[in-house]
Structure 1
Amino acid sequence: MRGLLEVLRDFRHPVAVVTKGALIERDLDLLAELAELDLVRVGISVTTLDRDLSRRLEPRAPAPERRLQTIERLAAAGVPVRVMVAPVIPALTDPELEAILARARAAGAGAASWIMLRLPREVGPLFSDWLARHYPDRAGRVLARLREMHGGEIYSPDWGRRMRGEGPYAEIVAQRFRLTVARLGLATAQPELSTALFRVPPRAGDQLSLF
């Protein structure tokens, strides 16, 4: 990743990074350089603030507090950061929506987005098994909400629906998000990255610059 960022910096190519990991902090110096030229923005996903739930749901990913720390360090380095509340899991993580946004804003996030849980193909049965094993008391409610949003199925691949769902519950979550980002002063879209500084990479046979 560092090598890729170095190439993008050298040729002034814009880049957007999406991650839930803390390893991105290794490249803060490069990201800060890119940010000074309006060439980078970063999205950090925060699914939950509950450490126990996070450990069960994403056992190989950094804990919630660690992700918030990453947001803070990126913002302190001048890198535009968006918090992604994703995925929102009905009846499991959705009560945390406002709290996640508030914590991320306090850490330095300037923008926010959200995505409803998606369970395409084999992911559906895997998640259903995970629910039954870890949260049997809520499994039925979670799956019922998903079916309510996707015409009786737990997932719809239709463009424009799969990221949000439809129906009363989906609209309530969307409204909660809109109200909270407005109250916190979070943007829902980030400024366009610069393309004016792009340097065309030299091709074989090109006359190279002396400097």
Structure 2
Amino acid sequence: MDFLANEGFQIVTHATGDRGVHEALNAYKKSGAAAGVRHRIEHIETLQPTDLPRFAAEGVIASMQPQRMMWVEPDRSDNWSRRLGAERCDRAFPLRDILETGATVTLGSDWPVARYDWREGMAAAQLRRAPGHPDRAPYDDQVVDALTALHGYTSQLALTVGDQDRLGKLEPGFLADITVMGEDPVVVAPDDLMANPVVLTVVGGEVVFRGSTLES
């Protein structure tokens, strides 16, 4: 790791549990990073409270997958919760807590472990449950608002790969990678996001998909 860090590589570590996250943070701190490079930890399903502020303080990117929250039962009867125990479950998937420290948090699906549809992930980030199941109570209070969730799948991703000068925004000089929805995903109720149709997809300025609902 020291060699890769010294050579300017961004290092990405998969760590789900609190010990794994702790050791990854320690390793990054020891190895350092080249100018302009920020290392990243994937998953972060649970972590020690003392490690919470370290992402922002040490410049480590937190990459999280909101869909994983959908698999946790509110009564903690699921296999994941039973194996972790109540104490770790109380600090599970700390999406909002990490964001509130000022850390960069990027969102994804970890496909093929979970579905790659960002609409489902954006809904799960707001609900802490699967969309379309309003009868299920949220697992806890780690929900985020719609705009924050959208940034997690767009501008924050650009920061994550170190290409924020070309990706993640609709601005002159940026790559024209655009998805147009039938309705504004920030306004649509998260339970209805999966039904929000994609009407146009543009990659590098080229139209690669045009839905039947798009007017000429």
Q: State the TM-score, normalizing by the size of structure 1.
A: 0.38
Q: Which has the higher contact order (CA 8 A, sep 6+)?
A: 1
The structure with the largest alpha-carbon Rg is: 1
Higher share in helix? 1
